[in-house]
């Protein structure tokens, strides 16, 4: 059923649902150079505003008026979760990194000197975790790397369109923060639709395409259509699912019902669905507050009216959602709004991980306590899951085997599909926050996949070392 046939207006909703009598707010964005122009910040201590300048010199900062006016409770700053999600905090840099940049700014160092120091700090923050530059990016028959494409798992290809390598606002924890800092050596992007289509045409094992970024929903609808509509040709019948990763439903829901080309976007999604493709909007939600505005709910209704499915994923992050009550409430709201809970991720080992990471045991406890509070329809959310280099590894729980306390683990996805759903065990470690912190249980010298993974990694790194 089309969105036009459901009693919706030409925008799929009403002005009453998304704004006041003057209509929805215009899009207005603020970056580091605009910190002094964000009115609510003026009420904060000068020392706190200076800390924001220091951190945003290293890590990307971008926020829009919708987030400022409708999502953040300024009476609860700095504890407000959406404030923590979008505004830089001192603890996001290690003390030695913070002190180095702060000293340069305080003494009025020139821009080149500050940027050189910031670049050195960034390179110590593991800007591309899980070997994604070396192991995930395929090569053509001549051995040239195909920039903008990642192919880690057999069935799924990730595509990074160059027009989508920014976001309506930036999450402070973002594991792709290196995409946004202006260093072309740290970016993954492609503007070549032909490259994508040629790759998919010759890789018939691929059933799922994930268009990601950044955020593809910052693109004009006609640009997104240029990538997607050719996939309706019979050459691409093997590509059954089109996934679009986006935070726009949270950070700029007006994109779906009040933008100049929002109708075009809805028509595009509907055409893909009617042609037989499964279209999945991979929405990133970190807190139930992102679901709780009229504009957000109107956007959800309109996307669902096209036949596209919305799946919700997000990491468990300290200072923002490390609370079972928050997850249970969010999952319940998602189900009520017609969204499918999909993943709870573990915060990746990159960027400001020291500020956001939660020990794996504690993450599992939060996941389990949240799951106990929801119905079966919300228990579709898998996790806590680490997107590590070997694959997506799920923490299934703490148990005891032959008197030894262990963590039970399994692969949800793996570089070798044969690893998937195979249980394995790690020694109990209450402080571990990532896969490489864990040691095998039962006096084993390594996990079952490690030797094969080393061989795969060596092969890929050898290929990556060859000149393009």
Please report the pLDDT score of residue 138 as a whole number.
Answer: 81
In this structure, of 142-151, 381-390, 408-417, 457-466, the range with the lowest mean pLDDT score is 457-466
**Overall average pLDDT of the 303-324 stretch:** 97
* Amino acid 8: pLDDT: 45
CA dihedral 19, 22, 23, 29 (to 10 degrees): -90
* Residue 13 confidence (pLDDT): 42
Range of the domain at 17: 3-123
* Helices and strands (H, E) in the chain, number of each type: 16, 13
Mean pLDDT for the stretch of residues 254-261: 95
Give domain status of residue 44, yes or no.
yes
Confidence grade of residue 184 (pLDDT, cut at 50, 70, 90): low
> For the segment 4-46, what is each residue's pLDDT rounded down to a tens digit?
434 444 344 443 345 444 456 789 999 999 999 999 999 999 9
- Average pLDDT, integer, range 329-338: 98
In a domain, 49, yes or no: yes
pLDDT, average across residues 264-281: 98
CA distance 117 to 97: 9
pLDDT over 90 at 334, yes or no: yes
**Can you tell me the mean pLDDT for 165-171?**
91
pLDDT at 466: 62
Least confident of 117-121, 226-230, 351-355: 351-355
Confidence tier at 213 by pLDDT (50, 70, 90): confident
Examine residue 213 and state whether it is found in any structural domain, yes or no.
no
The structural domain count of the chain equals: 1
Q: Around 224, how many Cα atoms within 13 Å sit in the side-chain half-sphere?
A: 28
8 A C-beta contact, residue 252 and residue 63 = no
Lowest-pLDDT choice from 58-72, 326-340, 453-467: 453-467
Higher-pLDDT residue of 189, 223: 223
pLDDT at residue 1 in the model? 44
Which pLDDT score is estimated for 22?
Answer: 46
Q: Give the mean pLDDT of 62-83.
A: 97
In a domain, 295, yes or no: no
Q: What is the pLDDT of residue 382?
A: 96
Contacts of 200 (CB under 8 A, 6+ apart): 157, 206, 209, 231, 236, 239
pLDDT value, residue 3: 45
Lowest mean pLDDT, pick from 118-127, 276-285, 439-448: 118-127
319: left (phi over 0), alpha (psi -120 to 50) or beta: left
Give the residue-averaged pLDDT of 46-61: 95
pLDDT of 423 higher than 70: yes
**Mean of all residue pLDDT scores within the chain:** 90
321 pLDDT higher than 80: yes
Cα 110 vs. chain centroid, distance in angstroms? Answer: 34
pLDDT at 217 over 80: yes
pLDDT on residue 450: 97
Alpha-helix residue ranges (DSSP H) falling in 107-184: 111-123, 132-135
pLDDT classification of 139: cutoffs 50, 70, 90: confident
Confidence of residue 165 (pLDDT cuts 50, 70, 90): confident
- Write the pLDDT tens digit of every residue in 188-206: 556 688 999 999 999 999 9
At residue 5, the pLDDT reads 37
| pLDDT > 70? residue 2 | no
Res. 463: pLDDT tops 90:
no
User: Under the phi-then-psi rule, with left for phi > 0, alpha for psi from -120 to 50, and beta for the rest, what region is 248?
Assistant: alpha
| 322 is a domain residue | no
Low-confidence winner among 171-185, 289-303, 381-395 (lowest mean pLDDT): 171-185
103 within a domain of the structure (yes/no)? yes
Long-range CB contacts (within 8 A, 24+) of 381-384:
381/312, 381/331, 381/341, 381/342, 381/343, 381/344, 382/342, 382/343, 382/344, 382/412, 383/316, 383/343, 383/344, 383/345, 383/346, 384/316, 384/344, 384/345, 384/346, 384/360
Residue 94 domain-assigned?
yes
Mean pLDDT of 128-150: 73
Q: Confidence class of residue 93 from pLDDT cuts 50, 70 and 90?
A: very high
Q: Does some domain include residue 71? A: yes
Q: Which of residues 358 and 138 earns the better pLDDT score? A: 358
Contact residues for 189 (Cβ-Cβ < 8 A; gap 6+): 147, 148, 160, 161, 162, 165, 179, 214
Instruction: Compare 462 and 351 and report the one with higher pLDDT.
Output: 351
Burial of 234 (0-12, 13-18, 19+ CB in 10 A): exposed
């Amino acid at each position: 059923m089309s969105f036009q046939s459901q009693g919706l207006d030409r925008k799929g909703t009403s002005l009453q649902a998304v704004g006041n009598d003057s209509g929805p707010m215009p899009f207005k964005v603020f970056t580091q150079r605009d910190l002094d122009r964000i009115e609510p910040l003026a009420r904060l201590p000068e020392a706190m505003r200076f800390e924001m300048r220091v951190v945003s010199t290293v890590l990307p900062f971008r926020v829009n008026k919708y987030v400022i006016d409708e999502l953040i409770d300024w009476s609860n700053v700095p504890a407000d979760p959406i404030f923590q999600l979008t505004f830089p905090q001192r603890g996001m840099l290690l003390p030695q990194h913070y002190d180095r940049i702060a000293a340069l700014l305080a003494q009025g160092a020139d821009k080149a000197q500050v940027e050189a120091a910031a670049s050195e700090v960034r390179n110590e923050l593991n800007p591309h975790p899980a070997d994604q530059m070396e192991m995930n990016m395929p090569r053509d028959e001549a051995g040239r790397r195909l920039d903008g494409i990642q192919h880690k798992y057999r069935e799924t290809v990730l595509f990074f369109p160059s027009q989508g390598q920014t976001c309506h606002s930036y999450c402070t924890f973002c594991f792709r923060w290196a995409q946004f800092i202006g260093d072309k050596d740290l970016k993954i992007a492609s503007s070549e639709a032909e490259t994508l289509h040629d790759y998919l045409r010759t890789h018939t094992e691929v059933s799922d395409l994930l268009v990601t970024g950044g955020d593809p929903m910052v693109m004009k609808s006609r640009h997104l259509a240029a990538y997607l509509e050719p996939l309706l040709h019979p050459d691409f019948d093997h590509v059954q699912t089109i996934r679009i990763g986006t935070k726009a439903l949270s950070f700029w829901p007006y994109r779906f019902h009040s933008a100049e080309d929002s109708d075009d976007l809805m028509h595009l999604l509907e055409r893909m669905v009617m042609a037989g493709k499964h279209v999945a909007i991979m929405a990133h939600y970190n807190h139930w507050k992102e679901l709780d505005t009229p504009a957000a709910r109107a956007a959800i209704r309109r996307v669902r009216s096209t036949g596209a499915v919305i799946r919700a994923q997000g990491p468990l992050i300290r200072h923002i959602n490390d609370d079972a009550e928050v997850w249970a409430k969010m999952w319940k709201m998602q189900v009520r709004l017609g969204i499918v809970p999909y993943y709870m991720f573990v915060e990746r080992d990159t960027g400001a991980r020291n500020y956001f990471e939660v020990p794996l045991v504690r993450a599992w406890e939060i996941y389990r306590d949240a799951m106990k509070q929801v119905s079966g329809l919300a228990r579709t959310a898998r996790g806590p899951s680490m997107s590590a280099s070997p694959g997506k590894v799920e923490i299934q729980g703490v148990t005891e085997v032959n008197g030894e306390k262990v963590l039970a683990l399994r692969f949800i996805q793996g570089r070798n599909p044969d690893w998937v759903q195979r249980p394995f065990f790690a020694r109990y470690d209450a402080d571990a926050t990532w896969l490489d912190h864990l040691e095998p249980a039962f006096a084993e010298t390594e996990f079952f996949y490690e030797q094969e993974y080393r061989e795969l990694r060596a092969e890929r790194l050898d290929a990556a070392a060859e000149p393009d």
